Amino acid sequence: MYTESQCGWEAIMKRSSLAWYAVVACLGGSLCVGSVVQADSPMTVKANPVVPTAVVTQVQSTQSTNSTAATNTVANTVAANSEAAKAAVVLDEQAALKQKQQYQAETETMGLLWMRTSAEYRALAYQGYNVALNLVKMAVTDPSHQRKPLAIVLDADETVVDNTKLMGESVANGNGRFDAPWWRQAVHQGKSQAMPGAVEFLNEVHKQGVEIFYVSNRYAPVNYDATVQNFKELGFPSVDKEHVLLFEKDSDKQPRFDAITKKYSVILYMGDNAGDFPIGTKGKTLAERNAIIDEHKEDFGTTFVVFPNPAYGSWVSALAKGYQNLSPEEQKQVNNQYLQQ
């Protein structure tokens, strides 16, 4: 027989055991619906749609991962499309540039052939130096020029050095676009040749005691050393920092002209471009350039000596605003307008 206290203890143990089994069942199944109560509790066990925290966290994590992945996929697609569009633009620009280079190579061919091969071009070079040397000799004996040391100012390219071989090779390879990057790379090779009669002329001027200044728009930070080395190898006199004045910050030559005239009496300017003379043609239109030349017509052959150059120069950019950047079709239209005027 059990005593009352024993019966009470058994009841307690029975209820505790049932409660323990219920807890184990919930944990083992990982999902417990409803509240756990004692087996003999008068409360009714009701279903409760509560999802364990671990499950909720897993679902939320999955949703977040899926959302992030979707966002990344969209972003990657947009980026890929953007890069593809940029690549397409670059290819189009390269194709357009190649077309311009090829067209300009075709338009340059005859002019360069004339410069490279014709007896007439050589004759004009000799003529220019002969005229210039006569002017120098006259100035040396003229007492009115004795107030300052005498000097001549001349351009370099296509005035005393010949780059037609470099240009010809470029044209033969399909590029007739002689822009600033092309020039910097080309002259940096140090392969410019002397114009016919240039070496003899320059050394005779030097013997006359006249200073020689090479005022060129070759780019000093890149091309100075190569230019000096090239000129020395050709046998040109007065090749040093004081006499070789290249383009540094301003392609307008007038400030360099002014610096020279402060110390010297300049008796002669020589060049193949209107900008090689102190007459203010930089940035002017074609009509303005021609008008300026007309105003100075008496100076040519007396103070100014011009060399022919049909290949390049400021005259090209003066044909139309942004001419060099026009498409071949647009350039043809401009060209034909002038040819038929």
- 3 state SS of 246: strand
Q: pLDDT for 144-157, tens place per residue?
A: 877 899 999 999 99
Q: Mean pLDDT lowest for which of 25-29, 90-94, 107-111, 237-241?
A: 25-29
- 3 state SS of 135: helix
| pLDDT value, residue 26 | 33
Range among 37-46, 89-98, 230-239 with highest mean pLDDT value: 230-239
Angle formed at CA 178 by CA 112 and CA 341, multiple of 5 degrees: 65
Q: Mean pLDDT lowest for which of 41-50, 190-199, 311-320?
A: 41-50
CATH number assigned to the domain covering 95-329 = 3.40.50.1000
Angle formed at CA 101 by CA 100 and CA 106, multiple of 5 degrees: 95
**If pLDDT is split at 50, 70 and 90, which confidence band does 187 have?**
very high
| pLDDT value, residue 63 | 57
| pLDDT value, residue 13 | 39
| pLDDT value, residue 11 | 41
CA gap 78, 67 in Å, rounded: 17
Spatial neighbors of 18 by CB under 8 A, at least 6 apart, are 38, 39, 40
CA gap 201, 126 in Å, rounded: 9
CA gap 211, 198 in Å, rounded: 15
Extents of the domains making up the chain = 95-329
108 compared with 290, residue with greater pLDDT: 290
CA gap 156, 218 in Å, rounded: 9
CA gap 216, 220 in Å, rounded: 9
| pLDDT value, residue 134 | 98
> What are the tokens at 333?
């239209």
DSSP conformational letter for 300: B
Average pLDDT for 318-324: 93
- Name beta bridge partners: 335: none
Asked if 236 and 199 count as a contact pair (C-beta separation under 8 A), the reply is: yes
Q: pLDDT for 44-76, tens place per residue?
A: 444 444 445 554 455 455 555 566 666 667 667
| pLDDT value, residue 279 | 98
Residue 23 clears pLDDT 60, i.e. is over it: no
Measured distance between the N- and C-terminal CA atoms of the chain, rounded to whole angstroms: 138
Average pLDDT for 238-245: 97
**If pLDDT is split at 50, 70 and 90, which confidence band does 92 have?**
confident
Asked if 313 and 143 count as a contact pair (C-beta separation under 8 A), the reply is: no
